[in-house]
Amino acid sequence: MKISSLQTARYEYAPKLPGMLRNGIADICVKEGADTQSVADQEKIKALFPNTYGKKEITFQKGQNTSEAKKQVVGVILSGGQAPGGHNVVCGLYDALKATNPENELYGFKGGPSGLIEDDYIVLTDDYVDQFRNTGGFDIIGSGRTKLETNEQFAIAAEVCKKHGITAIVIIGGDDSNTNAGILAEYFAANNTGVQVIGCPKTIDGDLKNEDIECSFGFDTATKTYSEIIGNIARDCNSAKKYWHFIKVMGRSASHVALECALETQPNICLISEEVAAKKMSLSQIADYIADSVEKRAAKGMNFGIAVIPEGVVEFVPEFSALIQEINELLAGSKADDFNALPTWEEKYAFIEKGLTKESMEVFAILPQAIQQQLFLERDPHGNVQVSLIESEKLFSALVADKLAARKAAGTYKGKFGTLHHFLGYEGRCAFPSNFDSDYCYSLGYNAFMLIQYGYTGYLSKISNLSQPANEWVAGGMPITKMMNIERRHGEDKPVIKKALVELDGKPFKYFEAHRDEWAENTCFVYPGAIQYYGPAEVCDITTVTLALEQGK
């Protein structure tokens, strides 16, 4: 297999650790903080997690190591969608484990949580792990989206752990995966299995965060990757001066990715889903907002621009959300078969018109036909519309085109409106991790083993003070239950980690809000360029604008 020179160089990169972890684990002790409680629904969460609720936050610091000396056999699982840096979490975990005792072992369960249930694994070795250091992707063991949530699954997992003498499981995943890690930890504790469970916060979406978890890993690299591409498109846009580029970016429901990309590149338009919801903006209002920018720029002879669209924005438009709910009801059960049996779109349209309320039909009618059909072609396993598959970048450009046509007829707009569309998603999920993500992820893995060595379970590996140089980072852990609340899922109340959406009173959004009117009318594009791995720290080790603003540094 041919290996690129960059990949070879990245194998040799030595990730930076927090200062207290740099001299080995012999001089590390635990400082316990206050007892914790869940972010909401305290009594309900406490009742569901009697063995793991309310534990103390902890911080590692220099001092005599008082952990029990014993052989550790650890299993590691990559869960959910890929995020840059995942390999380094495994590498950090492996290195800490081997540095503590060369006899320690690390089992990598293949293909995500299902690997644990199916007892499908590889025992990781130096030669194998070294092939993946500081590289993108999850291919070291693969990932999957199987949820560990039933007692039957937990019992099987306990038997697999017993078979191999496994003392701890590390689950590297997002909010759902770490919710499942918390539930698995409670089961193992309640049944005296002796198996600890530690989570690591992963998602490029940026929605697994709070005052303790300052940033989920992968967010830094993914947003830098997208921002490079947006900057490149903006440079082309400013050169050709003839197209409006509508660019949808990944991020599930939250708009953290879109906001960070806007802060890095200064596009003319960036929609923030959480603001759309707060202001109860309609599709028409959003289209007018974008059309205003197009018209003002056209008046200055600038018939070009950049609009960044977050992946989940349509979910936050009240009228569109109501439409989706009605469509889900319209096609519930056998009615979906009746609809799909209709031979032509005209007949299907009549079926839809008959089944929707007048208000929802008015919304449906203004959508481009391609978007209308997308709403009825793709369903998730529960029979619901997959909103993430809606080409919202094309939806908004079409709605804006209609607005501009009306303005042209009224004589208020005289410009040209040519459009191009882009979706930035998978390009960012497995990129070579930035130095920040390489360092952060390695530290998360190394720290996860420290939590194991000191006997903690149901904890999330935590590295904080992230806007500062790595030697000033602080390592520790927080109980997973601290992040939980109760939400309604599939007709049942479930304990889940609360998703963090963009805070409209937070510093990143406030900075964006203060500058966006200028960006909307003028050409203020910034071209961040490619991620840099070698050179001055102020170029190579910079973090996101979001984190810098949040930390006030």
Q: How many Cβ atoms are within 10 Å of 165's Cβ, its own excluded?
A: 12
Q: In 214-268, which residue ranges form alpha helices assigned H by DSSP?
A: 219-240, 256-265
Exposure string of 482-511, with b = 16+ CB inside 10 Å and e = fewer, is bbbbbbeeeeeebbbbbbbbbeeeeebbeb
Give the span between the Cα atoms of 315 and 501, in whole angstroms. Answer: 13
Exposure string of 29-60, with b = 16+ CB inside 10 Å and e = fewer, is ebeeeeebbbeebeeebeebbeebbbbebbbb
Radius of gyration (Cα) for the chain, nearest Å?
25
Q: What residue ranges in 63-137 does DSSP mark as E strands?
A: 73-79, 105-109, 121-123
Q: How far is CA 41 from each of CA 36, 332, 481, 531, rounded to the nearest angstrom?
A: 13, 32, 11, 42
DSSP designation for 489: E
CB 116 within 8 A of CB 109: yes
Closest CA to 313 of 269, 358, 357, 356: 269
Give the span between the Cα atoms of 308 and 295, in whole angstroms. Answer: 17
- Concerning whether 130 is annotated as a catalytic residue, the answer is no
| Among 205, 220, 439, 541, the one annotated catalytic | 205
Number of helical (H) and strand (E) elements in the chain, helices listed first:
21, 16
Give the span between the Cα atoms of 68 and 425, in whole angstroms. Answer: 44
* Cβ neighbours of residue 129 closer than 8 Å, sequence gap 6 or more: 90, 91, 94, 140
Q: How far is CA 247 from each of CA 57, 137, 203, 210, 287, rounded to the nearest angstrom?
A: 41, 24, 21, 28, 15
Give the span between the Cα atoms of 442 and 217, in whole angstroms. Answer: 10
Q: Which helix (H) or strand (E) segment is 545 a member of?
A: helix 545-551
* Cβ neighbours of residue 529 closer than 8 Å, sequence gap 6 or more: 228, 231
Q: How many Cβ atoms are within 10 Å of 242's Cβ, its own excluded?
A: 11
Residue 161 in tokens? 């752990």
Number of residues in the chain: 553
Hey, which residues does 247 pair with through a beta bridge?
308, 422
| Residues forming the active site | 205
